[in-house]
């Protein structure tokens, strides 16, 4: 053996886990939701998603290479996820140029100007969605009707949440909401598909249960308590769980590594905060949907939560066995 | 129009009122301070490097004003001109500062000191030194991972990628001592810069017995004491198989340099010798 | 439900390829090099000089200070010189070089292999014998055993825990010792129980050594007070604090020793050495070393004398493979990479692991993605990525507040990090710095 011996500090083995494995794990978890989206919105869903991914990856590559003058690592999967999630948050008939703007904002401003992966404070996809919502309210709140028959036309209808306050008699059945054929953005269709994704993420240990469960539990309990006193659809916990972007947000957006707390205690507080703010906006705010704002607001609290929560320390429990 | 006027007047009044309140509070809670401290501080280079031994220029200025004499107080970055200014402000005599410079006491380049293993850890000298003796046979020598370069705030020391040793940039080094503290092997030392920037030092810190040291590095000090014997000023000590030239006693006569069998003693910024033997080639290091 | 420790933990592939290979001897070379610092504490003072004749078991280095251990010659022959050798620390340290002549043992050592069960010595006498024999912790920590078995005044041990866990991947020396010296270990346990004056002992063995669990289980029936517990396989279960938490649910508080919860932990190899010292007058001069690795031709468990260069052991295992990139003394998680194969075997060398080049080099590190996987695997409940940042920016009071001194350096964090960050490297640096600050604070106070 003519080569020199390699010397480095321990440990000398590695689990083989990589950033890519985790990112692609998330993408796989999004496949069921994507399939439902294809079924409901046909070609539009495919075009929007593909273009969003293209824009996000493209903008990241260009900005990192030519403006930041560093080596681009676009294939680590995080830009792809931002693209998919942003696409899942918009109506399927959104004009392409608006989508491109959203991607530019999400990648360029929210992610890269803060320092790239690992250094951003706010979730790029969520911030991108809110940017589009505020800048283009008309295009962002017009939701195409589910188009199972196959004819792509311009019929639009209000979403579940839109009807929740004003026309509760137009609400689809819980079954429809769970399996996914009501009006809304591409990704928030089927609670079932999203839950399948959650199962995959937990099994592959990409995320832990703390954030999704705490968000859903808080929403259910908060609305549930009010529902006990006033059982109208507006306060029905199941409707809140299955409608809108709650599942998508709870499973895929709030669990983003970079913008969520690092300790178990912290994650539970974060999830509870999101659940609480979501319900508050949905019930008493001007917008029908509160998940995006809730996540964005709690993102701002993440550093504070990280500062004030610590993991369970060894030695704190001295139980005599 | 009246709306505009009202707005301007209201805002103007609020602004002026706030300014007045802030001024009054500023005056009431003003910290009384000897005004000379600020004057001295303004004369300092504001590098806040800690080379004077105080945590920052403000602290040093305060110490100067409070001291009875400026003896023992020196700003290495500002040098004599700065201390003269400070002395003028305080009506004292400036101490004569000896200009010092950082000196790297290792010549174990890749050529002289072959690598025997491959270090694959973090590029940090402190971490590598805690792990083992390094990727060569000499466990005292420079690791070349750049803790000194990291620590320098004056851009005055850089690792040469070919030799893997640090090199001091003479006109930038302020002898603040940051690199000395950063080096985990105590290889860097602050020595007198010397007249015309000339200095002589033993460029080795290896304390192993001569034979062992020489095996790992061609230019190691083997502790043979030839230099000590030839020095007319008793400026060289030998301890733990290692020769050391005492700064204050060395008169730069250069007698020790040619007698060293391994060319371990370096003479910087001297003119070439009249009688050049191959041994003297080792001497000149570019500033 | 098998017991295990409650916080953190990882599950690296076990790779116990040498588990079925019985302990084999190795030829003694012409020269051995015995380092004077094979334990935690001050290195020994040599008591021999060049030209002295020694036998196996002759005292060649004696205790210096309170935390230190004797060193005995592992061969018979003539002392060549007192010089320095590069040991596993990576630095040249003092050692005694002995030219080997024959294999004569000191007369006081009983070399018979029959089991001696009775021990009529008092606790003090047992401890003195252990001290005289130079016994140190053989799990790798090499803490002088007679010091560990002397609890500080005021503390009373209740339970003796025997560490048969061997949680590091690849290593099987403890496993083989447990299979082949079962009875001797049981007697050793009774001796230690006597020394500590406790009447309860638990042997913890991980569930991937079912044959050892069964064998000990049967043996223990004859010994009231000694029980065997199978544990779920998880790293770092062999760490003292984790083992105590797993077996009896008590967590040693931060900065304290196991004795503070009434427990003393001993490795099975150490217990065997204690049996041999007390019952057979044999000092610690040899130990079982696993030689293994992906491309090693004949992975084996070698009973090696202290002082034999690692190169000899690798040759006995089929020679150094062409693909060798790294040679590790110990296990892959906490072992030390060696810069040369001339390093001698010492009391703490539990294994030699040869890692191929393709797996030996680290991948380039990336920015932290705050996935918090390091937080979830840390067995001490720390936040490794935060500690690395605090160390990099030299925020020592913050590092101390976040319990950097609690780190047991198990390596689970670096192992798990998907961004390949060298978390443990920085934490070790920070730990050293903070400990120095704490020490200075105490001496200046």
Query: Does residue A176 have a pLDDT over 80?
Result: no
Tell me yes or no: is domain A19-308 CATH 2.120.10.
Answer: no
User: Angle between the B35-43 and B79-90 helix axes, to the nearest 10 degrees?
Assistant: 160
Same domain, B271 and B182: yes
- Could you tell me the pLDDT band of residue B70, with boundaries at 50, 70 and 90? confident
Q: Which of chain B's residues have a Cβ under 8 Å away from the Cβ of A4?
A: 115-118
Nearest Cα to Cα of residue C327 among C176, C319, A280: C319
Burial class for A318, CB neighbours closer than 10 Å (0-12, 13-18, 19+): middle
The answer to whether the CB of A19 falls within 8 A of the CB of A77 is yes
The answer to whether the CB of C331 falls within 8 A of the CB of C342 is no
- Is residue B18 assigned to a domain? no
**Closest CA–CA distance from residue A114 to any residue of chain C (Å):** 13
Whether residue B132 and residue A7 make contact (CB cut-off 8 A), yes or no, is yes
Model pLDDT, residue B285: 45
The Cα–Cα gap between A101 and A94 comes to 12
What is the tally of structural domains in chain B? 2
- Could you tell me the pLDDT band of residue A222, with boundaries at 50, 70 and 90? very high
The Cα–Cα gap between B120 and A54 comes to 37
Of the candidate ranges A118-127, A180-189, A300-309, the one whose mean pLDDT is the lowest: A180-189
- Is residue B12 assigned to a domain? no
Of the candidate ranges A174-188, A199-213, B78-92, C300-314, the one whose mean pLDDT is the lowest: A174-188
Model pLDDT, residue B280: 46
C187 vs A36, residue with greater confidence: C187
Q: What ranges do the domains of chain A cover?
A: 19-308
Reduce the DSSP state of residue C298 to 3 states and report it.
coil
Query: Does residue A320 have a pLDDT over 70?
Result: no
- Could you tell me the pLDDT band of residue B281, with boundaries at 50, 70 and 90? very low
Of the candidate ranges A156-165, A270-279, C189-198, the one whose mean pLDDT is the lowest: A156-165
Query: Across the interface, which of B130, B132, B135 has its CB nearest the CB of C429?
Result: B130
Best B115, B135, B137, B145 residue to mutate vs chain A (most A CBs within 10 Å): B135
- Is residue B261 assigned to a domain? yes
- Could you tell me the pLDDT band of residue A174, with boundaries at 50, 70 and 90? low
Pairing of strands C300-305, C286-293: antiparallel
Query: Does residue A154 have a pLDDT over 50?
Result: no
Write down the mean pLDDT value for chain B: 87
Same domain, B146 and B126: yes
Nearest Cα to Cα of residue C46 among C62, C57, C35: C62
Tokens encoding A181:
């054929």
Model pLDDT, residue B79: 79
Low-confidence stretches of chain C (pLDDT < 50) are: none
Q: Is A8 on the interface with B (CB under 8 A)?
A: yes
- Which whole number is the average pLDDT over A145-151? 53
CB under 8 Å to C119, separation ≥6 — which residues? C126, C187, C190, C191, C194, C278, C279
- Is residue B30 assigned to a domain? no
Q: Could you tell me which chains touch chain C, where touching means 3 or more CB pairs under 8 A?
A: A, B
Model pLDDT, residue B195: 87
Name residue C292's beta-bridge partners: C353
Same domain, B259 and B183: yes
B43 vs A296, residue with greater confidence: A296
The answer to whether the CB of A89 falls within 8 A of the CB of A125 is yes
Query: Does residue A153 have a pLDDT over 90?
Result: no
Same domain, B63 and B106: no
**Closest CA–CA distance from residue A272 to any residue of chain C (Å):** 19
Tokens encoding A110:
């929210």
Same domain, B133 and B40: no
Q: Is A230 on the interface with B (CB under 8 A)?
A: no
Which domain does B217 fall in, by range? 100-282
Q: Which of chain C's residues have a Cβ under 8 Å away from the Cβ of A6?
A: 325-326, 337, 357, 360-361
Q: Which of chain C's residues have a Cβ under 8 Å away from the Cβ of B126?
A: 429
Query: Across the interface, which of B115, B116, B121 has its CB nearest the CB of A8?
Result: B121
Same domain, B44 and B66: yes
Write down the mean pLDDT value for chain C: 94
- Which whole number is the average pLDDT over A272-286? 91
B contact set with C (CB within 8 A)? 116-117, 120-122, 124, 126-127, 130-133, 135, 139, 208, 212
Best B110, B114, B117, B145 residue to mutate vs chain A (most A CBs within 10 Å): B117
Q: pTM (2 decimals)? A: 0.88
The Cα–Cα gap between C93 and C102 comes to 27
We report the CATH number of the domain holding residue B69 as 1.10.15.40
Of the candidate ranges A31-40, A233-242, C72-81, the one whose mean pLDDT is the lowest: A233-242
End-to-end Cα distance, chain C = 50
Read off the pLDDT of residues C155-171 as tens digits, 9 standing for 90 and up.
Answer: 899 999 999 999 999 99
- Could you tell me the pLDDT band of residue A260, with boundaries at 50, 70 and 90? very high
**Closest CA–CA distance from residue A4 to any residue of chain B (Å):** 5
**Closest CA–CA distance from residue C427 to any residue of chain B (Å):** 10
Q: Which domains does chain C have, with CATH numbers?
A: 25-100 (2.40.50), 123-280 (3.40.50.11540), 288-360 (3.10.20.600), 373-444 (no CATH)
Q: Which of chain B's residues have a Cβ under 8 Å away from the Cβ of C336?
A: 131-132
Model pLDDT, residue B177: 87
- Is residue B67 assigned to a domain? yes
Residue of B nearest to C428 (CA): B127
Most confident range (mean pLDDT) of A157-171, A278-292, C164-178 is C164-178
Query: Does residue B158 have a pLDDT over 60?
Result: yes
- Is residue B260 assigned to a domain? yes
We report the CATH number of the domain holding residue B176 as 3.30.70.20
Best C85, C90, C359 residue to mutate vs chain B (most B CBs within 10 Å): C90
Reduce the DSSP state of residue C290 to 3 states and report it.
strand
Same domain, B133 and B219: yes
Residue of B nearest to A4 (CA): B117
Q: Is B276 on the interface with A (CB under 8 A)?
A: no
Query: Does residue A74 have a pLDDT over 80?
Result: no
- Could you tell me the pLDDT band of residue B54, with boundaries at 50, 70 and 90? confident
Whether residue C361 and residue B124 make contact (CB cut-off 8 A), yes or no, is no
Give percent above pLDDT 90 in chain C: 91
Whether residue B122 and residue C426 make contact (CB cut-off 8 A), yes or no, is yes
- Is residue B11 assigned to a domain? no
Query: Does residue A159 have a pLDDT over 70?
Result: no
User: Taking phi first (over 0 means left), then psi (-120 to 50 degrees means alpha), and beta for anything else, what does residue B53 get?
Assistant: left
Same domain, B167 and B213: yes
Residue of A nearest to C246 (CA): A321
Model pLDDT, residue A279: 92
Query: Does residue A257 have a pLDDT over 60?
Result: yes
Nearest Cα to Cα of residue A85 among A114, A56, A62: A56
The Cα–Cα gap between C282 and C260 comes to 32
Read off the pLDDT of residues B71-128 as tens digits, 9 standing for 90 and up.
Answer: 777 887 787 888 888 888 888 887 777 888 999 999 999 889 999 999 999 999 999 9
- Which whole number is the average pLDDT over B185-212? 91
E-state strands within C87-175: 92-100, 159-164
The answer to whether the CB of A56 falls within 8 A of the CB of A107 is yes
Same domain, B235 and B255: yes
- Is residue B229 assigned to a domain? yes
The answer to whether the CB of B200 falls within 8 A of the CB of B178 is no
Q: Which of chain A's residues have a Cβ under 8 Å away from the Cβ of B132?
A: 7
Model pLDDT, residue A318: 52
DSSP C235: B
Model pLDDT, residue B60: 86
Same domain, B120 and B231: yes
B78 vs B170, residue with greater confidence: B170
């Amino acid at each position: 053996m003519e080569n020199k011996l390699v010397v480095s500090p321990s440990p000398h083995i590695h689990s083989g886990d990589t950033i890519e494995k985790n990112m692609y794990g998330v993408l796989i978890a999004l496949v069921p939701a994507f399939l439902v989206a294809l079924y409901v919105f046909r070609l539009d869903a495919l075009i929007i998603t593909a273009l969003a991914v293209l824009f996000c990856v493209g903008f990241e590559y260009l900005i990192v290479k030519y403006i930041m003058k560093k080596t681009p690592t676009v294939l680590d999967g995080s830009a792809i996820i931002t693209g998919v999630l942003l696409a899942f948050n918009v109506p399927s008939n959104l004009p392409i140029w608006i989508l491109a703007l959203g991607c530019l904002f999400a990648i360029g401003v929210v992610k890269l100007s803060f320092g790239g992966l690992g250094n951003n404070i706010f979730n790029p996809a969520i911030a991108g969605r809110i940017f589009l919502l505020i800048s283009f309210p008309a295009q962002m709140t017009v939701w195409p009707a589910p188009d199972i028959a196959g004819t792509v036309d311009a019929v639009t209808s209000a979403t579940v949440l839109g009807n929740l306050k004003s026309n509760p008699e137009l609400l689809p059945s819980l079954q429809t909401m769970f399996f996914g054929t009501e009006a809304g953005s591409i990704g928030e269709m089927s609670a079932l598909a999203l839950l399948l994704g959650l199962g995959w993420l937990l099994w592959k240990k990409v995320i832990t249960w703390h954030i999704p469960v705490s968000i859903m539990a808080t929403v259910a309990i908060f609305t549930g308590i009010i529902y006990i006193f006033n059982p109208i659809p507006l306060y029905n916990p199941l409707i809140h769980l299955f409608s809108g972007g709650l599942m998508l947000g709870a499973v895929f957006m709030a669990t983003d590594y970079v913008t969520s707390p690092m300790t178990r205690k912290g994650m539970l507080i974060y999830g509870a905060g999101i659940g609480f703010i979501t319900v508050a906006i949905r019930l008493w705010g001007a917008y029908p949907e509160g998940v995006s704002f809730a996540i964005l607001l709690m993102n701002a609290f993440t550093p504070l939560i990280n500062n004030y929560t610590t993991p369970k320390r060894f030695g704190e429990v001295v139980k005599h066995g | 129009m009246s709306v505009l006027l009202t707005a301007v007047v209201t805002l103007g009044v609020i602004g002026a009122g706030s300014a007045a309140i802030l001024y009054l509070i500023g005056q009431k809670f003003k910290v009384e301070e000897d005004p000379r401290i600020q004057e001295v501080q303004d004369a300092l280079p504001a590098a806040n490097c800690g080379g004077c031994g105080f945590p920052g220029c403000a602290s040093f200025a305060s110490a100067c004003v409070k001291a009875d004499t400026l003896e023992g107080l020196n700003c290495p970055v500002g040098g004599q001109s700065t201390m003269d200014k400070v002395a003028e402000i305080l009506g004292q005599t400036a101490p004569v500062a000896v200009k010092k410079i950082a000196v790297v006491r290792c010549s174990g380049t890749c050529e002289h000191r072959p690598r025997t293993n491959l270090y694959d850890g973090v590029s940090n000298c402190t971490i590598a030194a805690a792990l083992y003796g390094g990727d060569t046979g000499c466990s005292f020598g420079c690791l070349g991972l750049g803790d000194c370069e990291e620590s320098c705030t004056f851009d005055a020391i850089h690792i040469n990628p070919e030799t893997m040793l640090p090199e001091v940039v003479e006109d930038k080094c302020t002898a603040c001592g940051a690199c000395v503290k950063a080096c985990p092997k105590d290889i860097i030392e602050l020595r007198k810069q010397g007249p015309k920037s000339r200095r002589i030092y033993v460029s080795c810190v290896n304390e192993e017995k001569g034979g062992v040291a020489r095996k790992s590095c061609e230019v190691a000090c083997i502790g043979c004491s030839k230099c000590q014997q030839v020095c007319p000023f008793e400026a060289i000590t030998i301890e733990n198989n290692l020769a050391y030239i005492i700064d204050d006693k060395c008169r730069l006569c250069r007698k020790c340099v040619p007698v060293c069998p391994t060319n371990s003693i370096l003479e910087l910024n001297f003119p070439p010798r009249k009688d050049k033997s191959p041994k003297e080639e080792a001497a000149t290091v570019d500033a | 439900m098998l017991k295990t420790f409650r916080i953190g933990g990882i599950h690296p592939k076990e790779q116990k390829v040498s588990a079925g290979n019985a302990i084999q001897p190795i030829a003694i070379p012409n020269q051995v090099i015995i380092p004077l610092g094979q334990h935690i504490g001050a290195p020994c003072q040599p008591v021999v000089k060049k030209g002295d004749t020694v036998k196996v078991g002759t005292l060649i280095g004696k205790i210096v200070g309170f935390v230190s251990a004797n060193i005995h010659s592992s061969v018979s022959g003539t002392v060549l010189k007192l010089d320095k050798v590069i040991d596993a620390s990576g630095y040249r340290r003092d050692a005694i070089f002995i030219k080997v002549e024959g294999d004569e043992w000191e007369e006081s050592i009983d070399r018979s292999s029959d089991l001696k069960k009775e021990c009529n010595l008092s606790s003090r006498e047992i401890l003195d014998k252990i001290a005289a024999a130079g016994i140190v912790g053989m799990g790798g920590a090499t803490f002088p055993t007679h010091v560990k078995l002397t609890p500080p005044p005021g503390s009373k041990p209740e339970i003796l825990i025997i560490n048969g866990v061997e949680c590091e991947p690849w290593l099987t020396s403890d496993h083989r010792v447990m299979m082949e010296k079962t009875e001797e270990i049981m007697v050793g346990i009774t001796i230690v129980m006597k020394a500590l004056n406790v009447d309860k002992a638990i042997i913890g063995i991980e569930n991937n050594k079912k044959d050892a669990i069964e064998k000990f289980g049967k043996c223990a029936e004859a010994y009231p007070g000694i029980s065997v517990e199978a544990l779920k396989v998880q790293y770092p279960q062999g760490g003292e604090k984790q083992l105590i938490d797993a077996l009896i649910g008590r967590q040693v508080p931060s900065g304290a020793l196991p004795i503070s919860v009434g427990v003393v932990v001993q490795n099975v190899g150490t217990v065997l050495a204690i049996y041999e010292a007390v019952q057979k007058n044999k000092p610690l001069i040899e130990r079982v070393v696993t030689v293994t690795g992906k491309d090693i031709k004949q992975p084996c468990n070698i009973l090696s004398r202290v002082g034999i260069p690692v190169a000899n052991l690798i040759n006995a295992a089929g020679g150094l493979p062409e693909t060798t990139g790294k040679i590790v003394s110990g296990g892959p998680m906490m072992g030390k990479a060696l810069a040369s194969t001339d390093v001698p075997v010492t009391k703490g060398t539990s294994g030699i692991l040869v890692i191929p080049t393709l797996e030996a080099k680290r991948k380039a590190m990336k920015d932290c993605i705050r996935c918090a996987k390091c937080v979830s695997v840390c067995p001490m409940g720390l936040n490794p990525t935060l500690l690395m940042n605090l160390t990099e920016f030299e925020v020592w009071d913050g590092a101390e507040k976040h319990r950097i001194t609690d780190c047991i350096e198990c390596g689970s964090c670096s192992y798990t990090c998907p961004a390949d960050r060298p978390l443990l490297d920085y934490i070790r640096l920070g730990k050293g710095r903070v400990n120095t600050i704490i020490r200075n604070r105490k001496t200046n106070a």
